[in-house]
Amino acid sequence: MARMYSGKKGKSGSKKPVKKAKKVWLRYSDQEVEQLIVKLSKQGYTQSMIGTILRDTYGVPDVRIILNKKISKILTDNKLTPKLPEDLLSLIKRELNILKHLEANKKDQPAKRGLLLTESKINRLVNYYKKKGILDKAWVHDREKAKLLVS
């Protein structure tokens, strides 16, 4: 499938192993992995960072294989989910960075297009999360509120 905005094609990238079995060399039990996830979340790490830390530091290849749950489900069970989903928050941060860049470089047309694309991605994601019930139906994306949310 083609990319949405770049005109490029292809689906290259790394793939997870097909075999979905618990590794023999894994040192941590199910409860220890869950406690690590809760501890890292309380330290302020996002879900993707928790997965990366577990992989790189603790040698946990995939949480789903071990616990049969995603990291987000574990955080939901322990009432540690953030107010906004991680992907939406990162798009909002990107929008604010582009706005900051445009204040200094008013005639940067590619940055203006990037801002439009980022705003449309945010709007699509907000509509999706409203349909799924993750965000309130009355939630509206506003740049001024976004500055407060990120800081």
Whether pLDDT at 37 is above 60: yes
Cα gap 60→28, rounded to integer Å: 8
pTM here is 0.80
22 within a domain of the structure (yes/no): no
Q: Amino acid identity of 65? A: I
As a whole-number percent, the residues of the chain with pLDDT over 90 amount to 64
Q: What is the DSSP letter of 29?
A: -
Q: What is the phi/psi pair of residue 45, to 5°?
A: -80, 150
Whether pLDDT at 1 is above 60: no
Query: How high is the pLDDT of residue 106?
Result: 95
14 or 30: whose pLDDT is higher? Answer: 30
Pick left, alpha or beta for residue 44 (phi over 0 → left; psi -120 to 50 → alpha; otherwise beta).
left
Same domain, 111 and 135: yes
Query: How high is the pLDDT of residue 2?
Result: 65
Q: In whole angstroms, how far apart are CA 80 and each of 8, 58, 121, 122, 142?
A: 38, 21, 26, 23, 25
What mean pLDDT is reported for the chain? Answer: 90
10 within a domain of the structure (yes/no): no
Number of domain units in the chain? 2
Whether pLDDT at 126 is above 70: yes
How big is the chain, counted in residues?
151
Query: How high is the pLDDT of residue 19?
Result: 76
Residue range 45-101, pLDDT digits in tens: 999 999 999 999 998 988 998 899 999 999 999 999 888 899 999 999 999 999 999
CATH of residue 142's domain is: 1.10.287.10
64: nearest Cα among 21, 120, 2 = 21
Query: How high is the pLDDT of residue 16?
Result: 73
Cβ burial, residue 108 (10 Å; 0-12/13-18/19+) = middle
9 or 106: whose pLDDT is higher? Answer: 106
Query: Mapping DSSP to helix (H, G, I), strand (E, B) and coil, where does residue 63 land?
Result: helix
Same domain, 97 and 117: yes
Which domain range does residue 34 map to?
Answer: 30-77
72 or 17: whose pLDDT is higher? Answer: 72
